[in-house]
Structure 1
Amino acid sequence: GGGNDTSNETDTGTSGGETAAVDAEAVVQQKCISCHGGDLTGASAPAIDKAGANYSEEEILDIILNGQGGMPGGIAKGAEAEAVAAWLAEKK
């Protein structure tokens, strides 16, 4: 009997820069496609489907955090921003 596990494990995704806990694609679907388009080829904002061909992961993170052009900064923050930057950097 017994076996009641009462531990409340919460993964905030902020431990030591680990971004694996964040589903970057889900964040993109939630926060980016309304301007960048469902397939990221552009809408009211430029195409980002090949962002990694033009920007490094660090540059993409800077754009996410600080904005660029008509895009405001801080749409994604912390581990979410890092995960999205890494994901977009692979798009070439």
Structure 2
Amino acid sequence: MNKKLLAVIFGTVLMLAACGGAKTDKTATNTTSGTPPTETASVDPEKIVKAKCTTCHGGNLQGQGGTPNLMTVGSRLSKDEILNVLKNGRGGMPGGLVTGDEAEAVATWLSNNK
């Protein structure tokens, strides 16, 4: 098989595996009271980006292995465009890695990176 094709396939599989991220269990219960946890009003977009984006986009969001640089993404994409990428994916990035209020907060935070 062609070495370039193997490299592309391996890179794609590696990216999907790394960017797949862990899904959180929204049905988990509070360990002290046994009740479902409540959503918090404040979401820390930097923590979310560190947990879900840096594996593929680099520790400083500089881009790596063909992924875009997110350090200045706000100069290229609006908040709504970034939110669309988070929801639907783009290129090798699958959609839905960040959802709901977290996606809104991350999109706002990234849109300020200019």
TM-score tier (shorter): 0.7 to 0.9
Structure 1 segment 14-33 matched on structure 2, within 5 A? 21-33=42-54
Paired-residue identity, %:
46
**Residue from 63, 79, 87 that aligns with 2:109:** 87
Uncovered stretches (5+) of structure 2, i.e. residues with no partner: 1-32
Residue 80 of structure 1 aligns with an amino acid whose one-letter code is: E
CA RMSD of aligned residues (A): 1.6
Uncovered stretches (5+) of structure 1, i.e. residues with no partner: 1-5
1:45-74 CA deviation, whole Å, 9 max, x = no partner? Answer: 111110100000000000000000000000
Specify the SS of the correspondent of 2:51: helix
Deviation of the 1:11 alpha carbon: 4.7
Residues paired across the two proteins, number? 79
Q: TM-score scaled by structure 1?
A: 0.79
1:10-40 CA deviation, whole Å, 9 max, x = no partner? Answer: 6514xxxx6xx00000000000000000000
- Name the residue aligned to 2:93: 71
**Residue from 76, 80, 100 that aligns with 1:54:** 76
Q: TM-score scaled by structure 2?
A: 0.65
Deviant stretches of 4+, over 3 Å:
none
Distance in 2 between residues matched to 1:11 and 1:52, nearest whole Å: 31
